[in-house]
Amino acid sequence: MRDDVNGLRLARYCFLCLVALAALPAAATLGENVHSINSDQARLKASVRVMSRQFYSVHEMQTPSGPTIRQFVSPEGTVFGVAWQGFAPNLEQLLGDYFQEYLRAASAPGRRGRGVHIDTGDLVLDSGGHMRYVTGRAFLRSKLPSGVTASDVQ
């Protein structure tokens, strides 16, 4: 009985998150070229701050009324990771081609607990919080530049 109640809560939580995620804007798409950041900046009227690191750069986008989104870009110009805080971003836009993979993993039987942790081998996504404030990150293991670890994407 308790597992049924927890399963119902999880299903309800996932549904509410997906509704919220679909309604809010996002930024550059995981696995794609860095040029998508510029068009998102203009569309969202966001400020972007670029921070250089030894093996990658971080493009931090702050929207006037929405989340802060950080895009992690390899020297080749590929977005290998994204992180967010604030209102939940549109994960379909953030994850791009990896969104269906995320949905399959998120709906797998046996998923329990508060936050979300998805690890499909290449795609890793962690997210938690509540409806008004969410933090999370997603990255592609296959796209991590040499010298960069999973803990760098935050």
* Band of pLDDT at residue 101, cut at 50, 70 and 90: very high
Q: What is the DSSP annotation of 66-112?
A: S-EEEEEE-TTSBEEEEEEEESPP-HHHHHGGGHHHHHHHHTSTT--
pLDDT at residue 91 greater than cutoff 60: yes
Instruction: Give the residue, 110 or 96, on which the prediction is more confident.
Output: 96
pLDDT at 5: 40
> 76-93 b/e with 16+ CB inside 10 Å = b?
eebbbbbbbbbbbbbbbb
Q: Which two tokens stand for residue 3?
A: 């597992």
Instruction: Give the residue, 50 or 3, on which the prediction is more confident.
Output: 50
- Kindly state the average pLDDT of the residues 102-116: 77
pLDDT at 90: 82
pLDDT at residue 95 greater than cutoff 60: yes
* Band of pLDDT at residue 112, cut at 50, 70 and 90: low
Instruction: Give the residue, 115 or 12, on which the prediction is more confident.
Output: 115
pLDDT at residue 20 greater than cutoff 50: no
